Amino acid sequence: MIEDFHGKTAVLTGAGSGFGRECARIAAQRGMRLVLVDVQPGALDAAAAEARAAGCEVLARHVDVADAAQMEQLARDVYAQFGAPHFVFNNAGVGAGGLIWENSVADWQWVLGVNLWGVVHGVRLFTPLMLEAARADPAWRGHIVNTASMAGLVNAPNMGVYNVSKHAVVALSETLYHDLSLVTTQVGASVLCPYFVPTGIGASERNRPPAATGVAPTASQRISQAMTAKAVDSGRVSAAEVARQVFDAVACGRFYVFSHPQALGGVRSRLEGIAAGGNPPDPFAERPQLGEQLRAALRAAG
């Protein structure tokens, strides 16, 4: 929980667009020092220029969050310039879908590398620095926010690799919360679980490195991309609104951050199904037309 952000340091991955960019804007407004991290040089440069124009002290780094060595260098750079960060937003993410048996090794490596390993590296590298700062100063406060998804709480079909990555982030974040509570009251944790919000993740293939490029997309993957893009583009909650919710959660120490609380019915149904020992409930029970559309498209594709 951080009540006063002024003069504090924020590390934001995926800072060139979406939630990362909007959180950087709020952090700048609140007088924070910014560490902006992204794999897109142009977007990173634009975010850094905007923050500097607002009067912020900025450290911008082009980093692939899936790369352990790059993240370790980032942590060293942050500590050398600013000391331990107060707010760490492990936010970088990519999207991919398709029938789960059709995802290639390259798909799994890319999605898990960014969505899960990016969070793993952020937690393993920055948490010890934050705990060290907390031990040295009883007044020091810090907070870590990891970006998961509603896909980390439910399991919509035809997007398995993404679901797996986000379920892992939820599990990691809940464990981090409990682990921190065992050793300190000065460093907290939250998990962000957005639903369909226009952020640019629907076009994340633009950032796939050549080494992670697989075979041509299958029919199910093309269907997933089209349906996801339509849902994301029609989202009525903005990335800026979600960023405000993130800062509110950090300020009050709230763990779960939901962009669409009204979507929790699917989570409730899933948990009730687990407790009852039954089969997984219909993920389209509240919107059956979507299930019919997906089933028809997949069967027509053969």
Give the residue carrying structure tokens 């849902």: 231
Among the listed residues 162, 177, 195, 256, the single catalytic one is: 162
Angle at 153 between CA 63 and CA 127, to 5 degrees: 40
What is the identity of the amino acid at 208? Answer: R
Residues 13, 204: Cα–Cα separation, whole Å = 15
Q: Give the C-alpha separation, 142 to 196, whole Å.
A: 29
DSSP 287: -
β-pairing verdict for 33-38 and 256-258: unpaired
Helix (H) or strand (E) holding 11: strand 9-13
- Which residues on adjacent β-strands are paired with residue 191? 146, 256
Tokens 């809940």 map to which residue? Answer: 174
Asked if residue 32 lies in contact with residue 9, where contact means CB atoms within 8 angstroms, the answer is: yes
Our CA angle for 223, 18, 54, nearest 5°, is: 165
How far is Cα of residue 38 from the mean position of the Cα atoms in its chain? Answer: 13
Question: For this structure, is 162 an active site residue?
Answer: yes
- Which residues does the annotation mark as catalytic? 162
